Structure 1
Amino acid sequence: MKIAIWGYGRAGQLHYINMISKNDLQLKYVYDPIISEKGQLFINDIDIILNDPEIETVMICTPTHLHYQHIKLCLENNKNVFCEKPISNNETEIVECYALAEQKKKHLFCAFNRRFDPNIISLKKNINTIGHLQNILSISKDYYSYPKQIYLETSQSIFHDYAIHDIDFINWILNDKPISVFCTGNKTKSDNINTRHLDNVVIIMEYSNGLIVTINCSRITQQYDQRIEIQGDKGILLSENQKISFPERYKISYMKELDYFIKLITSNDKNNITKEECINNLIIANACQKSIDTSSKVSIKYSDKFRDYSNVVEAIKNNYFLARKNQTLEFVKKMHKKYLNFNIQISINEIFNKLKNFVDISDPDISLPNYYHGIQTAEAIRSDGHPDWLQLVGLIHDLGKIMYIKGSDKEGTSIKNQWAIVGDTFVVGCKIPDGIVFPEFNKENPDMKNNNLNSELGIYKKNCGLDNLWCSWGHDEYLYQILKYNNSKIPEEGLYIIRFHSLYSYHKNGEYKHFMNKKDKKMIKWLKIFNKYDLYTKSDDIKISTETKKYYNHLIEKYINNGKIYI
């Protein structure tokens, strides 16, 4: 097997040393735009790697914030990818990378190397010998080299880029994941004062069986310290510290990891480091940072528990059945004609008050009225430092549900019958994709029996742009049209989010790509940024202060005609 390394930092150099000693692969290139090394292996043009048909695999060892674009570039050029953890610090990007790997029939491997350490493997092998588990302590302290300032500025946190190793191998040993975290930490290195990064952290993870796991991480100790203690009611398992450096401590695990990857490619074996595990590690790291930001214990809800329709109540399922059955091209055009007359003036705050009585029947993740979800979404966006227009979009993105005050039960636009207000949208006038919730209902749509409307393109042209498509009628399109009519000052990125945020099959599952134009390719990144806040902030626990209300009233007046609109 011929392989190339992309990135020659700490990890890249370790892999380089390991590769040149192996007989079952040939390291052909090393690419890093800032390396000074010379020699036959070192190149300064990534296209040499991407265009070389002999290169089967690219090992990505670049900074985390570049992983997503580098993984996609390699997969699109039909290369297997070995990527240093994490795949990305964005869940949607992780899903997209694995989907592309599956589409290209290539392997994507996320290198959580400690799973291959003999000491940790021994802990996993013997964990059932010590009875009922009571607590676990993992100490992880590094003195090898403190991260450079540019690294601190581009990486997300110590939880995402350092402690995530401990989070991963502990959950792997346990075959479980925590239900909550509480974290504390500090900064003691003077040149780190102006960054978000902590130098020392303690993570307390709680599991559903009562087990408590404590992780103690530091980047500024005077000696390398790696210890694990697992306590059960019948004994204790230990992995003692070895007073050596990071490269020496994990040399074997890096070699074993590489051997595993080679076998994965040559034997086409199943990858035991899964997409779901990568996503769960990210969710836990995010929860750790949230605990620091809020100085509180954070309960964790995993992605497989969001938008989980496997055990939905009959009302949710029926809502999707009726939407799929009735949302035809003809119906959508009729709704545009009926609802876009803008004959009622109302303030945004009045809409919020009216939506306090509206609970989205299609949403399995929250039982509170949409008003509260808007606040949760906006506050999460605000806490991460995004621009105020995006915060406002988070606040108002569901306000189109005010449609119900004009609605009717028969048309699915009332509080009782919501199938033309809420739920995942889809494009009408062409084939309804299988990558949509409840695809078994697609055949109920009359348009799917019309040869002019049931093909991939249907009535549209390739790359015509999503703005030129008819989407199933709902609160997204309604609010978008309201804001356009009222000349809101929300930028086009925000309007794009509002219009397509419920088109999950597009921005989450990769459907409708054949309709995308240059604008869509530019805008979809904003949908993906917004998506994680829309989905993963939903909770039935919400407190809204007077100061919070005042802040968002200011944004409403800034971007929306002093807060009054025609609907």
Structure 2
Amino acid sequence: MATQNDDVIGVAVVGIGRIGKVHCCNLLRLPRVNLLYIIDADRKAAEDFVQQFNLTATALHIDEIEQAYGDESLQAVIVCCPTNMHEAHVKNALQRGKAVMCEKPLSFSLNAIMDCYQMAEKNGKPLFCAFNRRFDPQTSAIRSRIPDAVGKLKVVKTISRDHPRNSIEYLRISGGIILDSCIHDVDMLLWMSRQIPKTIYAIGHAHFEDIRGIGDVDQVFVTMKFPDGAMGHIDLCREAVFGHDQRLEVFGSKGMLVGQNVRPQSYEISDGTGQSLPPIHDSCMTRYNDSYLQEMIHFISVVRGEATLSVTGRDTMVTTLCCHATNESLSTGLPVDVLDFVKKKFPELAYLLNGQNGSC
């Protein structure tokens, strides 16, 4: 058992896949943070990571997780396992009195997500759902400039095209393109507009036969209309062969803010054949590396009591409700009135949308 030190935050990471490795590396960069445990269903993967970086952290199999929870110096848990395991690990950590950061979505079930936040409140511990794009320097700078540079908001657009395409094994357990991927863009539209949409309309198509075979699509258009007349649009695709395509446009009465693709190297080539630029980032891990670090800094600050959660339980619930409304439109081919949909499908959660004047 590690020695208790109130000035050091002890952390465990559950799941050492792609995002788990990113979070571990970022934790190692932070002062007064001690990565105590790396826990995975594949213990060898956890051990290999510990050895690769010559860490003092203890590698555990998921069945040995109680060993970590018995350590009084463990204060926070980062949940990075597959989505279908999120709820169980979030609740287990909260019950053991740990602060929790979890990748989106917390669960496929809205009631389960609400249960998680209620448990966090009951136990007096923060629960942080990691909508990492909010912490991207370019994205947050654009949002801060909307009032003076854009004026009255008219349009918010996102383009999100993944690279490389996820394996069919992952997509089969991902919860579908809307809850797995589009949820980031839905959150962006709500966050940028500072409103909850009145209407959502979605259409999609499966260009890949294996994705069609699991009842999902790989290309989606989502259109939203907000209470003040502003419009939102999402262009989402599971694969772009040229890299991880991430763009943002905010247009209004005064002007427009545009977030272009960020490139690992910033230079331009001009020669006899014309002009060219270096490739864009080849994955979300490199494109959003800064935002993953910033969201971790934020979470640790919250655990220390130096900040309050910038992504609230209501934020998470409303974004997820809008994703379910998007799925409803995608399956029916019809526009969905968000408030009517929630009153019909999730009446116990309608209060999240009522009495808020469309604000989010």
Structure 2 residue identity aligned to 1:291: S
Q: Does 1:244 align with 2:285?
A: no
Q: How does 1:166-315 map to 2 (within 5 A)?
A: 166-222=185-241, 223-242=243-262, 243-245=280-282, 246-267=284-305, 269-301=307-339, 306=343
Q: Secondary structure of 1:301's partner?
A: helix
Tell me the equivalent position of 2:112. 93
Contact 2:69-2:96 at 8 Å conserved across structures: yes
- Candidates 147, 153, 160, aligned match of 1:140: 160
Shift of 1:249: 1.2
Gaps of 5+ in 2: 1-8, 52-56, 263-279, 351-360
> Equivalent pairs: percent with the same residue?
29
Deviation at 1:156?
A: 2.2
**1:51 Cα offset (Å):** 1.6
**2:132 alignment partner, one of 107, 113, 128:** 113
Which string of whole-angstrom CA distances, capped at 9 and with x for unpartnered residues, describes residues 211-258 of structure 1? 111101111111211001111122110101121132221111111111
Instruction: Tell me if the contact between 2:153 and 2:193 (Cα under 8 Å) persists in the aligned partners.
Output: no
Q: In the alignment, which of 13, 32, 39 is matched to residue 21 of structure 2?
A: 13
- 2: CA distance, partners of 1:72 / 1:252: 28
* Aligned positions, number: 311
CA distance 1:302–1:52, shift in 2 (3 Å) = farther
- Specify whether residues 76 and 207 from structure 1 end up closer, same or farther in structure 2 by C-alpha distance, changes over 3 A only: same
Given that 2:75 and 2:98 are in contact with CA atoms closer than 8 Å, whether structure 1 keeps it comes out as yes
Structure 1 residue 165 corresponds to structure 2 residue 173: no
Deviations 1:380-425 (A, max 9, x none): xxxxxxxxxxxxxxxxxxxxxxxxxxxxxxxxxxxxxxxxxxxxxx
- Are the counterparts in 2 of residues 283 and 302 from structure 1 also a CA contact under 8 Å? no
Displacement, 1:533? 7.8
Contact 2:168 2:210 (8 Å CA) reproduced: no
Does the 8 Å contact 2:30/2:297 carry over to 1?
no
- Could you tell me which amino acid in structure 1 is paired with residue 210 of structure 2? D
Q: What is the distance in 2 between the residues matched to 1:138 and 1:167?
A: 9
- The alpha carbon displacement at 1:147 in A equals 3.7
Structure 1 equivalent of residue 54 of structure 2: none
Does the 8 A contact of 1:89 with 1:282 survive in 2? no
Deviations for 1:78-137, whole angstroms, at most 9, x for unmatched residues?
111111112222222122111111111111111111111111111111111222222121
Give 1:534 deviation, angstroms.
Answer: 8.4
Q: Is the 8 A contact 1:2 1:27 kept in 2?
A: yes
CA distance in 2, matches of 1:74, 1:212: 40
Which of the pair is proportionally richer in strand? 2
* Structure 1 residue 152 displacement after superposition: 2.5
Does the CA-based 8 Å contact 1:8-1:35 persist in structure 2?
no
Contact 2:156 2:192 in 1 (8 A): no
- TM-superposed CA distance for 1:50, in Å, is 1.7
8 Å CA contact 2:156–2:250 kept in 1: the answer is yes
Tell me how far 1:302 sits from its aligned partner.
7.7
Deviations 1:50-82 (A, max 9, x none): 222111011001122211111111111111111
Kept in 1: contact 2:250–2:256 (CA 8 A): yes
| Residues 35-46 of structure 1 aligned to structure 2 (within 5 Å) | 36-37=44-45, 38=47, 39=51, 41-44=58-61, 45-46=64-65
C-alpha distance in 2 between matches for 1:92 and 1:130: 37
Q: Is the 8 A contact 2:132 2:291 kept in 1?
A: yes
- Inter-CA distance 120–535: structure 2 relative to 1 (3 Å threshold): closer
Change (3 A) 1:117 1:131: same
Query: Compared with structure 1, are the counterparts of its residues 52 and 191 closer, same or farther at alpha carbon in structure 2 (3 Å cutoff)?
Result: same
Which aligned runs of 4 or more in structure 1 are off by greater than 3 angstroms? 532-536
Q: Secondary structure at the match of 1:162?
A: helix
| Helix, strand or coil at the partner of 1:193 | helix
Q: Is the Cα–Cα contact under 8 Å of residues 156 and 193 in structure 2 kept in the other structure?
A: no
Deviations 1:433-454 (A, max 9, x none): xxxxxxxxxxxxxxxxxxxxxx
Q: Tell me the amino acid that sits aligned with residue 284 of structure 1.
A: C
TM value normalised by structure 2: 0.81
Structure scoring higher RCO (CA < 8 A, sep ≥ 6) equals: 2
Q: Give the C-alpha shift of residue 272 in structure 1.
A: 2.1
**Which amino acid is the alignment partner of residue 119 of structure 2?**
L
| CA distance 1:17–1:302, shift in 2 (3 Å) | farther
Residue 154 of structure 1 and its aligned partner are, at CA, apart by 2.6
Q: Secondary structure at the match of 1:159?
A: helix
Q: Contact between 2:206 and 2:219, CA under 8 Å: does it hold in 1?
A: yes
Q: Max radius of gyration: which structure?
A: 1
Unaligned runs of 5+ in 1: 307-375, 378-531, 537-567
One of 60, 66, 77 as aligned partner of 2:96: 77
How much does 1:196 deviate? 2.4
Residues 157 and 289, structure 1, Cα contact 8 Å, conserved in 2: no
Normalising by structure 1, we get a TM-score of 0.53
